[in-house]
Amino acid sequence: MSRILVDSSVWVEMFRMADFPEVQALGRLSQEGLLCTNGLIRAEILSGARSQKQFDKLNDLFSALTLLADPPDLWDKIAKARYRLARKGFQAGIADLIVGVSAAYHRKPLWTLDKAFLQLKVVLGFELFSIPKH
């Protein structure tokens, strides 16, 4: 059963940097079936492919991940969270809110490199995932 929602920021960094420190952990967690995605993250990553061959390879990778369904009241949750964040002086992007709402709704820890999620987690109540440092 999938446990960890991996944000686009982690995937992009992994594809961009051959020596990305968490690449081994990402591969291991993927092989163990512990990773999941949502429609937005999938679309962000696939749309960044530079060739049909790369698109097909990414599509195969993401097709193997559990795809989280959008919450039935996604847009209401986004509006409420964005309102609450704005009252705290923080402007959140809609894409980040979609990811945060998905993590909270499905009770999946979110693995991200984007610091904006530190604010979002306070309002939405999801956990952040990180690889333990040895």
Q: Go through the chain and tell me how many residues it has.
A: 134
Task: Write out the two tokens for 69.
Answer: 């369904």
H/E element, 66: strand 66-68
Residue 2's pLDDT is: 65
- Residue in the block written with tokens 């995932």: 129
Q: Looking at domain 4-124, which CATH architecture does it have?
A: 3-Layer(aba) Sandwich (3.40)
pLDDT per residue, tens digit, the chain (134 aa), is 569 999 999 999 888 876 777 777 888 888 888 999 999 999 999 999 999 999 999 999 999 999 999 999 999 999 999 999 999 999 999 999 999 999 999 999 999 999 999 999 999 999 999 886 65
H helical segments located in the chain: 8-16, 23-31, 39-47, 52-63, 74-87, 94-106, 116-124
Reduced to 3 states (helix: H, G, I; strand: E, B; else coil), residue 18 is coil
Both tokens of residue 108?
């999946």
- Residue 134: the pLDDT is 52
Beta strands across the sheet bearing 110-111: 66-68, 35-38, 4-6, 110-111
